[in-house]
A and B are shown apart, each in its own frame.
Chain A
Amino acid sequence: MGRGRYVLQKVGWAIVTVLVVIVFNFFLFRVLPGDPARSGARDPRLTEESVAALQERFGLDKPQFLDLDGGNPFDTQFFAYFGALATGDLGISYAFSDQSVADLLGQALVNTIWLVLPAELIAIFLGILLGLLAAWRRGTKVDVGALGFSLFLWSLPTFFLGIVLLYVGSRWLGLPVAGRVTIGASFTDIWNQIGDVASHLLLPTLTLTLVLVGEYMLIMRSSVVDVLSEDYILTAKAKGLSTFQIIKDHALRNAMLPMVTIIALNLGFAVSGAIQVETVFSWPGLGLLTVQAVDQRDYPVLQGAFLLLAISVVVANLFAELVYGWLDPRIEEA
């Protein structure tokens, strides 16, 4: 009963958040100074048809939220936007030769996942391992070294770390510097092609992993130290369990609880990292798309990318909270 309710609550909250994000996204692009829908329509790069399509799409003559001066109260920009969203229509890009925003985003999302997922997983694994080690050996050289390393990584702007790795990798190691595949290359077989993509992924993934691992390590360390100073660890010690048994059977699961929360809360941080890494390495994901959209004042793409990023984080966050509920038996009562 309790757990079902917990899941229901979390899912409900995620849905509410997504709705708020959608509404927020609508107003962000309309009420802030510099109204993109209007300025976009004056963009000299657009063909006349595009301008017409745009104006019709945004319904710029319509009221923004609710039509209270007679007529259909729901025939407004807001509900038009909602209706279009419901059918997956995110509009048409200004800059990418009239491609549909949804198509652009779909391809970019896949690329971003290829970058973020492995980096996230490696960082979580390494962070937990190093954090555990540092906490267990608290106060020793291992601990001090690990702490200093993570503080340094934390202070390193992601894009700068990317630039440094790119510089080193491209000039001295001969790794590719940009994009997803070597442009113009012809591959003899599938393995060749995979190898090429992997060599493109290597540096961006490394950058993102390094940026994430520092923080995960710090959190895991303090979480394990907290758990290891709890009374039940003393009970376990008094029972005669070995250090390894205590860590494995009594400390790990408890220490993972705050860790899961932090990982969930940090997904936004991972997105920030992805934006920067993709920019540096020209990796054609959502981050690069966002930055390009900013450069070219391509508001439909920007709006869509932001919506997709926000929803991804909400969904990932929900997933983490469900994991938490599964790990912590006390949830049943909450």
Chain B
Amino acid sequence: MRRFRLSPMGIVGVAMILLTVIVAVFAPLIAPYDPYETVRVTIMDIYQPPSALHWLGTDDGGKDVFSALVYGSRVSLIVGFAAAFIALVVGGALGLIAGYYRKLGGAIMRFTDFFLVIPDLALLIVIVAVIGPSLGNIILVIGLLGWTTTARLVRSQTLSVRERGFVRRARAVGASDPHILSHHVFPLVLPLMLANTVLVISLAILSESTLAFIGLGDPLLISWGKMLNLAFTRGAVSAGAWWALLPPGLAIVWVVLGTTLLGTALEELLNPKLIRHHLEKEKPLKVRPASLLPPKPELILEVRGLSVGYESPGGVLTAVEDVGFELRRGEVLGLVGESGCGKTTAVMGALRLLPPSGQVTAGEVLFEGQDLTRLDADSLRDLRWKRLAVVFQGAMNALNPVRRVGDQITEAIRLHEPSVSQGAADDRAKRLLQRVGIGPERINDYPHTLSGGMRQRAMIALALACEPALIIADEPTTALDVMIQAQILELLAELVDEMDMSMIVVTHDLGVVAQTCDRVVVMYGGMVAEQGLAAEVFASPSHPYTQLLLEAFPDMDHPDRPLVAIPGAPPRLNELPPGCRFAPRCPFVFDRCRTEQPPLYWAGESSAASCFLLEAPLQPVGDGDDV
């Protein structure tokens, strides 16, 4: 379990609430006067400014403002906590039921929808006015009207929890609904429910003070709202008696701010949202000085010593370390590895499309002779899509859901080729769609009307819009059905031939690499394990990981061959082994592997692998040699 640690905001909130609670509990000890005592006053006592006798002056009745303020905290807290408790019980129960039992839930939500459109203060006023403003009534009404937000939140949480795997599994095991609700749903929903209750407390306190200000407070009790009501209606403004107005108002702000801070902090803690986004300022690149080696003209892309780190609460985690590879014009390169091996991070780092917590920490990325890591933002933007396009996972949300498919294609065309008219761009978009197998009449469709396979085709059409020299396809077939996967792979292969492009395919599927790529880079634990021409690497793998991975991969020409399991699991970024990344799972491991990282050694005509087993008699690959 994650450690329960409240943010500074939450700690401040707790402190503010605690202070208020102490004041309320020890009110008789703190307040110099008893505000409920009847005292005789003369006109001279009314609205006296603050003095040693009355720290916050006197009010319209000549009474001590400070004492009233201290006692007023009691009403605020009692109403806040009691009403929130009612809201929690009623809203929590209804929300759980509404979320778990769908049909009944629909009816319950219609009911809460109705409360949602009724202006709540107006309803509060009307009900309290009719039934009478006693403390009990006020608590009851605020609580009963406050349940809707709790119910909505609990319902949406319950809805998502009930669809989760472990609930489906419990149901398949034969567990009853009460068992599932009490053992699986409720424990997961409860924390967020409590966090929400803290926010409901602040709302209840606000409602109570508003009611009291309007004149619907309990007539027998002193509350902050009522103090404001009396002072405001009895001439404090014209008398300039700010001391009768400001303290009760600020006291309300104090409690409400405290509970809001705590509630917000709790919600953030329990439901951490992705708060980084793609438009945050790029961090200044921390890159080594450029090497003096000139770019090689036959290469379209050359990645040298690329390292990428991610910021995390525990420090920077290295996701990619010292990765280098080359791509010739017209070639297809496969970047292959298991989940977490850094294959996507490596290409996105090279393209400067990392999420904001990621950062290239070392290396050079030479694309058509220019180093992408050092290029200024404007030149990089000019290069993007025109020379260098990306096919993102279309099954994901890579297309903007509220813009038409054709529109997203023509946008790219017109951006990079301003001389093209809208009509010509539309025509080109239609041709592109047709080429990838989508009817040109669908140019005006929105992405959600397309199936998963069609969205992937549309994404490919979009990538082709400016006829780039290099296409990077990131898991282009993941999450697609086998037949659709075959269609997409066939299409990509045809297009690369037809348009004389180079392509990098990022995938976890060795079969995809074998069938589509000329060159392969096998990654493991953020580093290159082996690379070379696909034919050579697949025919005679040199790295133990490559060897075992190939044996773990099924081959339909030998359906009877049992698959090999590699013991253990791929390393996590926060616990990378110090030596060779594969050492903990390697059957040929020896002492040196555990302490020292093996460099790349030549392993054949074109291939190189990072394994000490290749050390003698082969020489390590030096900088600047062809790989």
Contacts and interface: CB of A to CB of B under 8 A. Distances in A.
Q: Do they bind each other?
A: yes
Contact of A159 (B116, B213, B353, B401): B213
Interface stretch (B36-44, B271-279, B554-562, B571-579): B271-279
A18 B132 CA distance: 26
Contacts of B119: 267-269, 271-272, 309-310, 313
A329 B278 contact: no
Interface residues of B, number: 78
B228 interface: yes
A160 B249 contact: yes
A171 interface: yes
B232 interface: yes
Interface in A237-263: 237-243, 245-247, 249-250, 253-254, 257
Interface string A27-59: 011001110100000000000000000000000
A209 interface: no
Contacts of A330: 401-402, 446, 448
B117 A239 contact: no
A136 interface: yes
Given A29-B130, A276-B210, A135 B277 contact: yes
A236 interface: yes
A187 interface: no
Contacts of A110: none
Contacts of A236: 400
Nearest to A271: B119
A230 B402 contact: no
Contact of B130 (A34, A242, A249): A34
Nearest to A273: B121
Interface string B399-416: 111110000000110011
Contacts of B246: 164
A295 B215 contact: yes
A151 B121 contact: no
A170 B237 contact: yes
B274 A268 contact: no
Contacts of B129: 294, 297, 302
Contacts of A309: 119, 122
Interface stretch (B256-264, B488-496, B593-601): B256-264
Nearest to A256: B402
B126 A302 contact: yes
Interface string A98-115: 000000000000000000
Contacts of A33: 130-132
B242 interface: yes
B249 to A, nearest CB: 4
Interface stretch (B389-397, B475-483, B607-615): B389-397
Most buried by A among B132, B279, B392: B279
Contacts of B206: 157
B622 interface: no
Contacts of A32: 127, 130-131
Interface in B84-140: 113-114, 116-123, 125-127, 129-132
A271 B122 contact: yes
Nearest to B245: A163
Interface in B238-284: 240, 242, 245-246, 249, 252-253, 256-257, 260-261, 264, 273-280
A61 interface: no
Contacts of A317: 117
Interface in A267-299: 267-269, 271-272, 275-276, 279-280, 290-291, 294-295, 297
Contact of A225 (B127, B275, B396): B275
B117 A235 contact: no
B42 to A, nearest CB: 26
Contacts of A290: 122, 125
A328 interface: yes
A267 B345 CA distance: 45
A241 B118 contact: no
Query: How many A residues are at the interface, by size bracket?
Result: 35 or more
A166 B237 contact: yes
A272 B210 contact: yes
A206 interface: no
B125 A291 contact: yes
A158 B122 CA distance: 15
A156 B254 CA distance: 9
A148 to B, nearest CB: 10
B126 A306 contact: yes
Contacts of A151: 257, 260-261, 264
B281 to A, nearest CB: 8
A177 interface: yes
Contacts of A327: 402
Contact of A228 (B278, B382, B401, B402): B278
A6 B466 CA distance: 38
B385 interface: yes
A72 interface: no
B383 A233 contact: no
A4 interface: no
Interface in A2-24: 17, 20-21
Given A163-B228, A225-B277, A313-B119, A240 B416 contact: yes
B278 A229 contact: yes
B214 interface: yes
A314 interface: yes
Interface string A298-309: 000011011001
Nearest to B260: A155
B209 interface: yes
Interface of A: 17, 20-21, 28-29, 32-34, 36, 135-136, 138-139, 151-152, 154-160, 163-164, 166-167, 170-171, 177, 222, 225-226, 228-243, 245-247, 249-250, 253-254, 257, 265, 267-269, 271-272, 275-276, 279-280, 290-291, 294-295, 297, 302-303, 305-306, 309-310, 313-314, 317, 327-330, 333
10 contacts: A20-B114, A160-B249, A167-B245, A228-B278, A233-B277, A233-B279, A235-B398, A268-B116, A279-B214, A317-B117
Given A265-B116, A310-B118, A330-B448, 10 more contacts: A32-B131, A152-B253, A156-B256, A157-B213, A164-B249, A236-B400, A240-B380, A241-B415, A275-B125, A329-B401
Top 3 A-B residue pairs of the complex, sorted by shortest distance between their CB atoms: A240-B384, A228-B277, A272-B121
